[in-house]
Structure 1
Amino acid sequence: MARRALILVEGSRYNGPLYVQAALQLGLHPIVLSANPAQYDYLGAEGIEAIRVDTADLDALIRECSRLHATYDIAGITSVGDSFYATVGKLCRHFDLLGPNPTSIERCCNKFTQRQLLAEAGVPIPDYRLAADAVDIESSADEIGLPVILKPAVGAGSRGVRLCRNLDELAQHTTYLLGGQHIWQSPPRILVEEFAQGPLYWVDIMGDQIVGIGTADFGPLPHFVGRQCTFPALLTDDEHERIADVSLSCLRALGLGWGPTGIEVRWTTRGPVVIEVNPRLHGTPTPQLTQLAYGIDLVTEHIKLVIGDKWDLRRRHSQTAAARFLVPDRDGTLDWIGGDSQAVAIPGVAEVKFYVEAKTPIVRKGDLQDWIGYVIAASPSRAQTEAILQHAVDIIEWSIRPFSS
């Protein structure tokens, strides 16, 4: 009998290891298709089968999956992130497997199209314009009124996203986006958006069921580098209901509702305003927070959905879980980093993860690539979790030596 395989199109240093481990625990043989498998160091560490293929070429992926089908029983095809999720949908349709609607995914992943569809459905969103050059950006910012946020119309991980509070910052970031520093996969298209001010909440959905709502804090503006995630968020019944209603409206407006969806909302003076809808789970460490707080393993449940098994979103318990991201305050060479073994030994600390090793060059970009690690803690109370987390973070230390001039 052929071995059951789960095909993963590309990977990620964030959720990638979680998907590989969940697949193995479900008795599946994970196979990663990637244009550059060497970029995912966890594959080698786990001995995971990885195949080099042009993942931007749908026909090449179909040929590779057809070849694998001669050896394996392909139980399902999915992807860790949203960049290749539309491709996954097309592959699933070709091989008659369960998967997302590729058209809906493509529309959702284009932030301008997403904004249009949400606006047409009456979903509250920030005022926005689409710009292609510096003149468009300046006139759009003038119409909306400063401060505004500039972001690529297609992208993820807060890459290229910045708050522009005055004309100097607007000009500076315009130059960054259009002057060759930002890498574009297609002709530049930039969203100019109203800055929706207020606490940020993230919503995890599977199918059409809301799993839970968390909250996130960020480092200093003008960048949006996450500093802490807490789950579940402390909300009144009315706030929870309004955020949930807006989130489900997003699914209907965008034609989603199969598989995972991650939504970001800011609570403003006019209530919940949708910042972004992503057709995927939120990245690490939010899946770990959901599992610690509610006992729900979203990665495993997503894979069950993909392979046609019965999935289960029932809560097993209720705790407060939180993650603190480790973010350097300067550029330079990382001389050393430590304290992880002592921190993880603290009762209530669930995980300590470093993304970097000694002698790594640190060059901050103002997005999630600035993270050098994280600490996760959980306990029965919010105050206790915060205290545990702070204790652990205080133990972790590192030294960064400035680059020589």
Structure 2
Amino acid sequence: MVADLFDSGATPRPDTGPRPLADRLRPRRLVDVIGQEQVLGPEAPLGVMLASGSLSSLVFWGPPGVGKTTIARLLADETDLHFVQISAIFTGVPDLRKVFDEAKHRRTQGRGTLLFVDEIHRFNKAQQDGFLPHMEDGTILLVGATTENPSFELNAALLSRAQVLVLTRLTLADMERLAQRAEQELGRALPLDGPAREALLDMADGDGRALLNLIEQVAAWKVEGKLDSAALATRLMKRAAKYDKSGDEHYNLISALHKSVRGSDPDAALYWLARMLTGGEDPRYLARRILRMAIEDIGLADPQAQSICLHAWETYERIGSPEGELALGQAVAYLALAPKSNAGYAAYKAALREAKKTGSAPPPKHILNAPTRLMKEQGYGEGYAYDHDAEDGFSGQNYFPDGMKRPVLYQPVERGYERELKKRLEYFAKLRLRRT
């Protein structure tokens, strides 16, 4: 039966052995949950739903170990719904049919079902669509959990029937509260001095389940006195930072790096660069993005910036890791401190808009070459003013299609080298006005 495999509403079997600390400390009420005030507080979404007695289908989006499963289980308890848990990794279509059939039967007996689906983004579109009719007729109240961005991974139809709630990494204060609760359960303090205790919390990287597993290991050690940070590091390995080179974390961190450069903060930019490199990001991808930053955010305010980025990329290709990454770091620091201008980027986008607007309008004939007699007879090149022969080397002729109103596309800023370019533009504008 599916209930035997997935249904935690069945009568629990008696304990036959020691239970992990994380299981022993699982909260029994929502008020006991540590963290997630933005979701559980009195004025937060779940707090308001429970107070009004109206719970809707939900999708919990957040990293591992922040309480998604626990909160779903406690929601079922507080709303007197039968709790059923499945994982999209291990559940196929026949299993889902059994879950829905049993929920329908339970409903005929007057009890609803809260179906918790872990890793819900692993279901394909057809499987996700299979939940819709059962959500709509009240057979199930769906609570999905995902570590991936629901906007990209879940169907729009499913998202329209469920509210997405974001669960966040536990703060250091949350982790300390969890550690204290663990010590109360264990009946003794951890054998760590202050810095070592902070290092232990840091090792868990905001994951409450990981912290409790670490605490369980430390508590089992037979040591005299208190261990310092060095001794702790010898006995435990720091948990690898969460980083998915193709998922949200990838895009979040490159966004943080780019915006730190744009915001002229070299320290923050170097930090996010280091975060991506230590997470295993391809340095060549970073080299491409760093070059893009020079083009998009510095532009002609510092024409040397692009060359520095290209040289950093070339340096990485020539000497490889780990020394090559230093060249990328120096390029990032340079870009962060360079004068900023997106005038060239904005001018290019404005030119694209003008090009689309004017369609196939030809250039004016006076700037067309006339290599044949027929073309000369058609007026090609007639009236062209050779700029080198003009006063100040500037003819002031029109180079846009005939009848097109002259647009202003490139507007340099008063920063860096673009100050000089702005003076030149203004100079040519005065000459053009004088000669037209």
TM-score range for the pair, normalised by the shorter chain length: under 0.3
TM-score (norm 2): 0.23
- Structure with higher RCO (Cα < 8 A, 6+ apart): 1
Q: Larger helix proportion, structure 1 or 2?
A: 2
Q: Larger strand proportion, structure 1 or 2?
A: 1
